[in-house]
Amino acid sequence: DTGVSQNPRHKITKRGQNVTFRCDPISEHNRLYWYRQTLGQGPEFLTYFQNEAQLEKSRLLSDRFSAERPKGSFSTLEIQRTEQGDSAMYLCASSPLPSGQEGYEQYFGPGTRLTVT
Amino acid sequence: SQKIEQNSEALNIQEGKTATLTCNYTNYSPAYLQWYRQDPGRGPVFLLLIRENEKEKRKERLKVTFDTTLKQSLFHITASQPADSATYLCALAGYSGAGSYQLTFGKGTKLSVIP
C-alpha cells in the first residue's frame, strides 16, 4: 500500500496561468475527494467522486476550477486563469465504500502547495 | 450557519500530562465526528471516529467523547509525549445527499508537548 500520492508537491505560477494537479488514490478506493487548505484553517471540501462520477461540488469551486477522474482511477484538478487568492494547499483524499461500521475514514495525500504570484 | 470551533489555536502541555482538546459545533447534526492529526507540510492522518449514538471511543492513549446534547467532542491524549506535538483537526460528517458524508473541518488546535 503506497498511500495517496499527489503531484507536483509544489507549484509556483503567475497570475492568469492555468495549472493542473494530479492525485493517485489508494488503488482499491472508490471514493476520491479534493480539499483546499489555507494557512491556519482546516481543509475545505471542494469536490467528490465515486468511481468516475463527480457527485458533488462545493460552492467554493468556481467556474475556473474543474476536476476529472477518468476511468475511476487517478484524478486531476485544473485551475484556469489563476488568481492570487487561489494560493493554498490542495489536498486529495480517498476512501473505500463504507461497509457496516468500516470505511468512513479518509486517507489524505501530502498535498500540492500552489503559490500564485 | 454551521459553525465548528476548536477551543484554542494552540495548547502547550508538559510531557506525561493528559492533553484535552475541545470541538464545539452549532447548527449541525453530524452523523459522526472524526479527529485527524496534521503535521506541518503534510496531509491529515485519521485517528478516531465516533458516531452520534456513541459516548466514548478509545484507541491506545487516545480517547474521544461525543455529547450531542452539548454539541461537543473532547479529545484526550494521555501520557503525552513530544512526538504528539502536531495540529489536531476535528471533522464533522453530514450526509450530503449524494451518497456520501461530507466532512467539515475545524481550524485545528496546535498541540505542543514540552519535555
Query: Scanning the structure block, which residue is given the C-alpha cell 498541540?
Result: B111
Q: Which among A107, A109, A110 is the nearest to B46, CB-wise?
A: A107
Residues B55, B72: Cα–Cα separation, whole Å:
11
- Taking alpha carbons only, the member of B1, B67, B55, B64 closest to residue B28 is B1
Q: Hey, what's the cell of A103?
A: 470505511
> pLDDT per residue over A29-69, tens digit each?
999 999 999 999 999 999 999 999 998 888 878 899 999 99
- Give percent of chain B above pLDDT 90: 76
| CA–CA distance, A23 with A11 (Å, rounded to integer) | 14
Chain B residues touching A108 at Cβ < 8 A: 36, 43-45
Q: Is the pLDDT of residue A8 over 90?
A: yes
Residue A56: the pLDDT is 86
Chain A positions in Cβ-Cβ contact with residue B103 (cut-off 8 Å): 33, 43, 45, 106
Summarised one tens digit per residue, pLDDT across range B63-84 is: 999 999 999 999 999 999 999 9
pLDDT of residue B99: 67
Question: Quick one: which of A42, A48, A36, A39 has its CA closest to B2?
Answer: A42
- Tens digit of each residue's pLDDT (9 = 90 or more) over A58-103: 887 889 999 999 988 999 999 999 999 999 999 999 998 877 777 7
Inter-chain touch A106–B103, beta carbons under 8 Å: yes
pLDDT score of B100 more than 80:
no
Angle made by CA atoms B15, B17, B21, in degrees to the nearest 5? 105
* Cell triple for A104: 468512513
Q: Judge: A105–B93 Cβ closer than 8 Å, yes or no.
A: no
Q: How far apart are CA A103 and CA B66, in angstroms?
A: 20
